[in-house]
Structure 1
Amino acid sequence: MSTLGSFIWSIADQLRGPYRPNQYGNVILPLTILRRLDCILEPDLETVRELAATYSSPGRCKLEVNKATGRPFYNTSNYSFANLLEDADGLADNLADYIDQWSPDVDVFEYFDFKKEILALEKAGLLRQVITSFKAVDLHPDVVSNADMGDAFEFIIRKFNEAANETSGDHYTPRDAIRLLVDLLLAEKDADLTEAGIVRTLYDPTAGTGGMLALAEEHLLGQNPDAKLSLYGQEYNPQSYAICKSDLLAKGHDASNIAFGNTLTDDAFKDRQFDFCMSNPPYGVDWKQYAKAITEERASAGPYGRFAPGLPSTSDGQMLFLLHLVHKMREPEDGGGRVGIVMNGSPLFNGAAESGPSNIRKYLLEEDLVEAIVALPTNMFFNTGIATYIWILDNIKHPDRQGLVQLIDGTSFWTKMRKNLGAKNRELSEEDRDNVLRLYADFTDADPDYSKVLRNDEFGYWTIAVERPLHDDTGMPVVDRKGKPKPDPKKRDTENVAFTFGGSSAGAAGKIEVIQAYFDAEVKPHVPDAWIDWAKVKTGYEIPFTRHFYKYVPPRPLAEIDADLEKQVAKILDLLREVEQ
């Protein structure tokens, strides 16, 4: 729990009465952002005002301010937290003026509709009291680090959503999970990332409050303080977008790299690709309302469009984000790109052969893009206890990994939290993350309880239709004009045949031989009159993660079970006797 977040949230107690708890965030979040930017600007306030008076063009003013202070934003108002309270009667108007005079890229307050809140606070007689409280909080980066500020924002959002009886899942990914994702995403490139003066780009299409972007930057700069990491992101939730953008502004990044809008229907970085891409998209979110736009885009973009490999069910859009990220990877000839994405279990196996999800997996595996998949412990996220997985993709895999996928079972690497946070009662300690990273780096089957390395074709299968003849009233097979038996639809059966059946390593090329061998061994001996309808054969791909790590646990001996039952019966009888007495 963030101490700073708790302190800032305590200011909300002043809002009781005129505001309901689920409305507190409308005041607290924008004022926290305003005070953060105010504290950053305060040491150079006079310099900035002089430059603003000299250069009327916003572009030129921004350039000169950046040269003088190293910051990409400014404010031309005569007001700040330092003097807002001096004019008691004009506080509301002066605060509105302060908000209006930020440089054009500081558009974050528009997304809170904060001027309306200023009037509401003034009407309730609370404005002066709240501004006084925020003035007392020093949020300069020298006092409150960027990491602590991020924790505070996410704490406030979680509290705000709890009060509104909503989920924080769309906004907040636990920091421990992000750290593992970042470690894995950057692991294969760690050697390259230590070079002096390197420039890399990182993109998150579901940026939320910017937690993933912030921790990735922290990781890279921890390795190489001279590195330059350009951060890009898009976010559709107005408040999360405002927090993310203000966080990047505070760190000196180009705020125009953070876009507002729905990534699936309006890609703000259509013509850009990136060195690293990462995301924790919402799970199980219905995209029916966007289906028309996405389907039309797929049809018009052709085989090179971002959704060309297939479309998942409209009840779950996770795999749309997965395809989007693949489309955003820098081309191999330009240095290649890597993707890290957190998803639940359904993208591993949902959909039958030749369905949208299966075709997406087919594309990813046949193009040799999937490098590793890591199963996380359950109860890791605030709003769900379901199983989650980190997928790592790379379009220029290390030679040792080409044609292979590593599955890592990290479900047992967790540390119990002292206090539950929603559904989250487990976290990944540094030791837990190190255990997963060690397995990733070792890249062997030497520890099969935790790591499996499989060929891409081991996830492929064919679904075959097994037909049996239709019989007439006399029990004779019904035949067509050519004398071939007609199939009985009621007796039709389907079988899934693994590419690797019989030890085959031919992959998709072994289709005829492997299917026939399966049929001869597994079907024909039991139903001699059956045959394969080759026209109905379909190709599918699935990643049965849990099956690869399944451990058989034999049932207890009957005598032991009987003994336990007798004990329970004895207890029940004793309780009944007590009642009778």
Structure 2
Amino acid sequence: MNQQTLSAFIWSVADLLRGDYKQSEYGRIILPFTVLRRLDCVLEATKPAVLAEYQAKRNLDIPPDPFLLRVAGQSFFNISPLDMKKLMGDQDHISQNLYSYLNGFSPEVRDVFERFEFHAQIDRLSKAGLLYQVAEKFSQIDLHPDRVSNHQMGLVFEELIRKFAELSNETAGEHFTPREVIRLMVNLIFIEDDEILSRPGVVRTIYDPTAGTGGMLSIAGEYLEEHNPKARLTVYGQELNPESYAICKADMLIKGQDVSKIAFGNTLSEDGHPATTFDYMLSNPPFGVEWKKVEKEVRREHETEGYDGRFGPGLPRVSDGSMLFLLHLIAKMRPVEEGGARFGIVLNGSPLFTGGAGSGESEIRRYVLENDLLEAIIGLPTDMFYNTGISTYVWIVSNKKPAHRKGKVQLIDASGMWQKMRKSLGSKRKELSEEHIADITRLFGSFTEADADGKPISRIFNNSAFGYRTITVERPLMEDGKPVVGQKGKTKGKKLPDPKLRDTENVPLDQDVEDYFRREVLPHVPDAWIDHDKTKVGYEIPFNRHFYVFQPPRPLEAIDAELTQVVSRIQAMLGEIAG
């Protein structure tokens, strides 16, 4: 069964709900029932053996859980004699039986349905006389992994969430990232470690602090399994949205992961994995979302823990918290002496340049660059995400740069690498093809400058190229045509500055400040001087400027000829009207 057929079938359940439920409420029913049927199908083959083992261990008064997990062959089990098919045999008691079936699951699965608030929905469906019909619909569809792969199932969940988000005017893109963008990011964080990852029995950890439905973690696992079936990737995550968390947890259960490593809650205010570091990380934090709700906790950590906490380098403005996730991931990097770490994070354009020298944003960029953590930034095409058409950038950050990358940053302009989608999905109109992903990965892996169609697409810079000093240029306060001189303290005998004439200049870090001042300032204002006490160091990454190609204007003769033609046409039209 293909993904479209499957999601269309599941979506047909909406026909049953129409009238009793608002469209915006469909997801509360369809998502948990889809998860329930998936788990039901996964456990079907081992269910008789699990029930027999459960009874045997009960008779011996032995705690059964470890044995049941082994017999089930999964990281979860169900000890109820019921399943979805058997529920259909007793229409009059469907509600009580469904509750009993749910209570038969192991604790981690019960938690999934609690996050869905599924019991409340069962009660509502029952009162509306719809529970049996809805359950029957789902009992008829085969969601066993042999029929519907984990990858397909992930796509189904994403499509359903997107549809429900559109119906309720929510932001679907907050819940998941386009699969091809994830594949690109996974390629980029793994490519330099291909040799290590190909060793038999290698175990690595990966973490997503904004896990959504688990798409990033799933694709990373698929990548490693494809390249080295004997390698093992232990996944960790945290998610704030209850439904997304429930789906992520269910997905990880089916894949045999330890779901206790998927935490619930706000990553910024309550770190679900304190004192834990990771080999690899991926994240697509919300774009331009304010962090006022968690401001108190974040500022407390910044002020009391400093660099021992996550937010030591600085805090961005409250209107956009994406750079807080950047700092969070940096704090979660496995130390270099333990093998180091690499991560990819999707950010909008704001973190590249927002904030002048001394601001929180600039201080964060300064920390990243002066500690040689930034490997590359890849500019993606617009219209790539479901909830926004703006330009986005993938930052690749590592504390284990290869020798040839040390002290350097690579910028890759992939904004022209895209193909039009057959059908737009929300704001998403473009996608990366497999060829585009391979091209970008190759550019990153080769670490070389490159052009395409006469335009640069890969450039390499020293870290210091993005730094500058903001100097304060003063001019004397004048009275009766003479400079005013200080009479006491530090200013005694010195010319006092005129605040109204004060100005600032940004001097690149690789230029001498005094030489710059003599060359650029003194020829225009000979009486000026620098107040060195006010000098600040700043960092910005003017990505687009580095890929700008000057297009000379058309010759004046061509413009004049075109204007003459336009004037002639207008005069002819006026003549026709007058005639």
Could you say which TM-score interval applies, normalised by the shorter chain? over 0.9
Q: Residues of 2 paired with 1:570 and 1:65: CA distance? A: 88
Listed as ranges, the matches of 1:58-207 within 5 Å are: 60-106=63-109, 107-207=111-211
Q: Per-residue deviation at 1:574?
A: 7.1
Given that residues 186 and 223 in structure 2 are in contact (C-alpha distance below 8 angstroms), is that contact kept between their aligned partners in structure 1? yes
Corresponding position of 1:499: 509
Q: Residues of 2 paired with 1:171 and 1:441: CA distance? A: 30
Corresponding position of 1:232: 236
Which residue identity is paired with 1:499? L
Which stretches in structure 2 are left out of the alignment for 5+ residues? Answer: none
Q: Residues of 1 paired with 2:481 and 2:278: CA distance? A: 66
Which residue identity is paired with 2:545? R
Query: Structure 1 pair 2/475, CA: closer, same or farther in 2 (3 Å)?
Result: farther
Are 2:485 and 1:479 equivalent residues in the alignment?
yes
Q: Per-residue deviation at 1:7?
A: 2.1
TM-score by length of 2: 0.95
Corresponding position of 1:393: 397
Query: Structure 1 pair 579/419, CA: closer, same or farther in 2 (3 Å)?
Result: farther
Q: Per-residue deviation at 1:163?
A: 0.6
Q: What secondary structure sits across from 2:91 in the alignment?
A: coil
Q: Residues of 2 paired with 1:63 and 1:310: CA distance? A: 47
Q: Residues of 2 paired with 1:196 and 1:58: CA distance? A: 41
Identity %: 54
Q: Per-residue deviation at 1:478?
A: 1.1
Q: Per-residue deviation at 1:70?
A: 2.1
Q: Residues of 2 paired with 1:279 and 1:577: CA distance? A: 65
Given that residues 65 and 71 in structure 1 are in contact (C-alpha distance below 8 angstroms), is that contact kept between their aligned partners in structure 2? no
Given that residues 205 and 235 in structure 2 are in contact (C-alpha distance below 8 angstroms), is that contact kept between their aligned partners in structure 1? yes
Given that residues 331 and 337 in structure 1 are in contact (C-alpha distance below 8 angstroms), is that contact kept between their aligned partners in structure 2? yes
Given that residues 47 and 72 in structure 2 are in contact (C-alpha distance below 8 angstroms), is that contact kept between their aligned partners in structure 1? no
Q: What secondary structure sits across from 1:484 in the alignment?
A: coil
Given that residues 340 and 393 in structure 1 are in contact (C-alpha distance below 8 angstroms), is that contact kept between their aligned partners in structure 2? yes
Given that residues 380 and 423 in structure 1 are in contact (C-alpha distance below 8 angstroms), is that contact kept between their aligned partners in structure 2? yes
Corresponding position of 1:43: 45
Corresponding position of 1:510: none
- With 115-124 and 253-262 compared, the bigger mean Cα shift is at 115-124
Given that residues 169 and 382 in structure 1 are in contact (C-alpha distance below 8 angstroms), is that contact kept between their aligned partners in structure 2? yes
State the aligned residue count. Answer: 568
Corresponding position of 1:518: 516
Corresponding position of 1:9: 11
Q: Per-residue deviation at 1:567?
A: 5.2
Q: Residues of 2 paired with 1:230 and 1:551: CA distance? A: 45
1:531-557 Cα deviation digits (max 9, x unpaired):
000000000111111111111112233
Q: What secondary structure sits across from 2:157 in the alignment?
A: helix
Listed as ranges, the matches of 1:36-435 within 5 Å are: 36-55=38-57, 60-106=63-109, 107-435=111-439
1:253-297 Cα deviation digits (max 9, x unpaired):
111111111110111110211100110000111101211111111
Which stretches in structure 1 are left out of the alignment for 5+ residues? Answer: 502-513
- With 200-209 and 249-258 compared, the bigger mean Cα shift is at 249-258
Q: Residues of 2 paired with 1:280 and 1:58: CA distance? A: 48
Q: Residues of 2 paired with 1:295 and 1:350: CA distance? A: 20
Query: Structure 1 pair 403/124, CA: closer, same or farther in 2 (3 Å)?
Result: same
Q: Residues of 2 paired with 1:114 and 1:435: CA distance? A: 45
Which residue identity is paired with 1:424? K
Q: Per-residue deviation at 1:578?
A: 8.2
TM-score by length of 1: 0.94
Q: Residues of 1 paired with 2:81 and 2:351: CA distance? A: 54
Q: Residues of 2 paired with 1:229 and 1:331: CA distance? A: 18
Which residue identity is paired with 1:326? I
Query: Structure 1 pair 465/33, CA: closer, same or farther in 2 (3 Å)?
Result: same
Corresponding position of 2:540: 542
Query: Structure 1 pair 90/459, CA: closer, same or farther in 2 (3 Å)?
Result: same
CA RMSD of aligned residues (A): 1.9
Given that residues 248 and 254 in structure 1 are in contact (C-alpha distance below 8 angstroms), is that contact kept between their aligned partners in structure 2? yes
Given candidates 450, 465, 484, the residue that maps to 2:472 is: 465
